């Protein structure tokens, strides 16, 4: 059973969250879809460690704030007959961060939560972005969710 993670990257622009979406390359899984950072957990790796590794591999960034979103991305994959329960993480990166895409992605865009319906296809990803936006705007991130870097 494969173990997966999702990372929702954001920055705050005058207190308003903006989310980083990445366009998947044509010859990769989820080709031509706008998505967040995601990946597989390697052997002897914690979910949160996999999330940080994937941020480094896919974008060459390190977050200034990193926390667990108090929900999971759930979906059924018919080809494996498997239900996935994917931990979701939020990673704040500073405006000054340089985004360096790997070969899995061809473009990136910073978007507000109001723009995600036209870009994101997966309902659970939309829900998690909306939840993250709400938690950030209402300053409701509990200390227990923070992961020390």
**Is residue 29's pLDDT more than 90?**
no
Average pLDDT of span 52-74? 96
Most confident stretch, 1-5, 24-28, 121-125: 121-125
How does residue 31 score in pLDDT terms, banded at 50, 70 and 90? confident
Q: What torsion, rounded to 10 degrees, do the Cα atoms 73, 74, 75, 81 define? A: 130
What per-residue confidence (pLDDT) applies to 40?
96
Q: What torsion, rounded to 10 degrees, do the Cα atoms 80, 4, 30, 123 define? A: 90
Check: CB of residue 105 under 8 Å from CB of residue 120: no
**For 90-94, 95-99, 121-125, 135-139, which range has the lowest pLDDT when averaged over its residues?**
95-99
Pick the CATH number of 4-145 from 3.90.79.10, 1.10.10.60, 1.20.140.10, 3.40.50.300: 3.90.79.10
């Amino acid at each position: 059973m494969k173990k997966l993670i999702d990372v929702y990257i954001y920055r705050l622009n005058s207190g308003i969250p903006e989310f980083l979406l990445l366009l998947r390359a044509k010859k990769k899984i989820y080709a031509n879809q706008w998505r967040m950072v995601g990946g597989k957990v390697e052997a002897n790796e914690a979910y949160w460690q996999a999330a940080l590794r994937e941020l480094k591999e896919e974008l060459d960034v390190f977050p200034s704030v990193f926390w667990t979103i108090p929900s999971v991305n759930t979906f059924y994959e018919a080809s494996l007959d498997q239900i996935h329960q994917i931990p979701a993480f939020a990673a704040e990166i500073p405006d000054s961060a340089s985004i360096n895409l790997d070969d899995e992605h061809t473009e990136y865009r910073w978007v507000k939560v109001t723009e995600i319906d036209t870009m994101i296809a997966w309902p659970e990803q939309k829900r998690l972005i909306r939840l993250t936006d709400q938690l950030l705007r209402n300053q409701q991130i509990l200390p227990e969710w923070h992961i020390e870097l």
